[in-house]
Structure 1
Amino acid sequence: MLSIGEFSKICGVSTKTLRYYAEIGLLHPDEINPENGYRYYSIGQLTRMLFINRLKSYYFSLEEIKAMLELEDDQSEEKLYSALNRKRKEIQTQLKAFEFTLNQMSMDILKLEKDISIMSYLDHIEVQLVTTEPMKILSIRQMMSSDDYARGYGEHFSRLYERIATEKLTVLGTPMTIYHSPEYNPAGNDTEFAIPIKETVEGTREWPGGLCAKSSITGPYSELTSIYAKLREWVENEGYELVKSPYEVYLTAPSPAVAEEMVTEVYFPVRIKQHI
């Protein structure tokens, strides 16, 4: 048997952490001396502790690890295989995001070396005044928290495309997202996922056309705030005002693997400002 101190030293885990793991049911001592409360671990528990450390190093939460350890032997390998593949994809997505950030940071450093403002890119964002045609859209509308968006885009558009395929509907355009909330709220935003179609079925509605300030971006969605800021500035400076919710149209399918190549258009429905 190993004392808690010996077990701690071998596995590289503090005794405080080991006590917490016992508290949450992740790893209990094999024995506890009833007289003095000393905790002892068996040699066999070393493998379990190393397994916990391994999954922690892969950024699994303690809740996820505990659920994995509670699986029956005939399920554990299959579930572990699926979980590792899922986590690998998450990390690959994060790496892509870090690569983009590093590239952007390097470009900003080069700009500063040349005495150019790192915000000068805003001057190169083009805004057009366009007139859009009315369309019929099949949509799903619900409140979305900031944590829901990454997953929600794929899930909700997939549901719409599945229905289109099942009912043999005719797609007339690329996916779009309409943002109805008057302000950003991390806890929840009124969001509508939509696809233009030809037929009138349950769940469709008319989306009116009209005058819009429009801009576009090639790159990840994290850069869209710059487009929104530029459009809002343009609307104010040119004497227009917003009349409906802004919306985004995705000309390329969302894909973290090729985030730098994604093309997104942003539309601000406007009218000439009414002077009272």
Structure 2
Amino acid sequence: MLSIGEFSNICKVSTKTLRYYAEIGLILPDEINPENGYRYYSIEQLEKMLFINRLKSYNFSLEEIKTILDSEELQDEKLYLELTRKKKEIEKQVQEFEKTLDQLNNDISNLRQGKSIMSYLESIDVQLVEVPKMYLLSIRKMVHEYEIAEEYGNCFIKLIKKIQEDKLTILAPPMVLFHSAEFSPFGLDTEFAIPVKEYVTGTRDFYPGLCLKTVLYGSYSELSSVYAKQREWAEKEGYECNNALYEVYVTDPSQVLKESELITEIYYPIKKKVSNI
């Protein structure tokens, strides 16, 4: 038997942590002296503690680890599925860190050259275009920001199915229109749409008219910079918003291997401000 101190030293886990693990039922002492309350662990428990430490190193929560340990399924099968899921999570985090590191290096490089770290805004191109009327087959609903990616997939699957059933003709890539003027705790008033040739039951007219257009190559995380640049351009030139701003997804996010392959068109419908003079 090992005292809690010896067990703590071998596994590199504090005695305070071991007591907490016992409280939540993660790993219990093999024996507790009823006279003095001293806790003892068996040699066999060393492997279990090392297993817990290993899963913690993969960023599993204590709750997730306990679920794996308590699983009534074959533990190896359960563990394989959980490790595979965690691997995907970590790979995504690594991609995010790599992207952040690239951006950080660019900012450092710009500062060395005497440029502002916000100088990237100068490379965002804003065009003034006239967009003709189109017919949209769409689904409009309140959606929270964290739900948009999931709803994107769900809604466009439904729309494609409807198009196939009604034998409609797709004229342009999928788009999402944002009707909310401001943030709401109930979500954003969002419309998932596909332009079609035919005007039938379930479709609607949409005439964007005069718009600011920007083509974004790469991550959706840069969308806010595009919005800021377009709004700045509109304010400077004396324009204001005239309709729902919308994004056209030229490339399907589910079909690209890298974010750098994404192509998105951002449209900001505008009209000239009326002078109060």
Q: TM-score, normalised by structure 2?
A: 0.86
Q: Deviations over 1:112-140 (max 9, x none)?
A: 22222222221221111222233313225
Q: In the alignment, which residue of structure 2 is the partner of 1:244? A: 243
| 1:90 corresponds to | 89
Matched AA of 1:9: N
Q: Which residue of 2 aligns with 1:112?
A: 111
State the one-letter code of the partner of 2:248. Answer: V
Q: 1:182 to 1:195 in 2, by over 3 A?
A: closer
2:154 aligns with 159
Within 5 Å, give how 1:71-150 maps onto structure 2: 71-74=71-74, 76-132=75-131, 133-139=133-139, 141-145=141-145, 148-149=146-147
Corresponding position of 2:215:
216
Provide the residue aligned with 1:34 in structure 2.
34
* Alpha-carbon shift at residue 176 of structure 1 (Å): 2.5
Partner of 1:57: 57
Distance across 2 between alignment mates of 1:254 and 1:131? 27
Q: Deviations over 1:81-111 (max 9, x none)?
A: 1221222112112212222222222222222
Secondary structure in 1 matching 2:40? strand
Change (3 A) 1:197 1:34: farther
CA drift of 1:209 comes to: 2.7
> Over residues 56-90 of structure 1, what are the superposed CA-to-partner deviations in whole Å (9 max), with x where a residue is unaligned?
1111112211111111242x222221221222112
Letter in 1 for 2:188: D
Question: What is the aligned partner in structure 1 of residue 187 from structure 2?
Answer: 189
Say if 2:159 and 2:194, in contact at 8 Å, map to a contact too.
Answer: no
Rg comparison, structure with higher value = 2
Decide whether the 8 Å contact of 1:141 with 1:191 is kept in 2: yes
Quick check: 1:137–1:207 contact (8 Å CA) kept in 2?
no
Going from structure 1 to structure 2, the CA distance change for 1:165 and 1:196 (only over 3 Å counts) comes to closer
| Counterparts in 2 of 1:244 and 1:18: CA distance versus 1, 3 Å | farther
SS at match of 2:154: helix
Judge conservation of contact 1:128–1:213 (CA < 8 Å) in 2. yes
Task: Please show how residues 192-203 of structure 1 align to structure 2 within 5 Å.
Answer: 192=190, 194-198=192-196, 200=200
For 1:81 and 1:238, how far apart are their aligned partners in 2?
58
CA, structure 1 residues 95+5, in 2 after alignment: closer, same or farther (shift >3 Å)?
A: same
Change over 3 Å in CA distance of 1:262–1:45 after alignment to 2: same
The one-letter amino acid of 1:6's match is: E
CA distance in 2, matches of 1:17, 1:181: 48
Percentage identity across aligned positions? 50
Relative to structure 1, the CA distance from residue 266 to residue 166 in structure 2 (aligned partners, 3 Å threshold; closer, same or farther) is closer
Q: Distance in 2 between matches of 1:63 and 1:80?
A: 14
DSSP 3-state at the match of 2:258: helix
Amino acid at match of 2:187: N
8 Å contact kept, 1:108–1:118: yes
* SS at structure 2 position matched to 1:21: helix
Q: Is the 8 A contact 2:208 2:243 kept in 1?
A: no
In structure 1, runs of 5+ residues without a counterpart are: none
Distance 2:63 2:42 in 1: 23
Q: CA-to-partner distance for each residue in 1:18-61, whole Å, 9 max, x for gaps?
A: 12212222222222222222222222222221111111111111
Distance 2:16 2:201 in 1: 60
Cα deviations by residue, 1:127-159 (Å, 9 ceiling, x for unpaired) = 1122223331322523315xx25xx41x32332
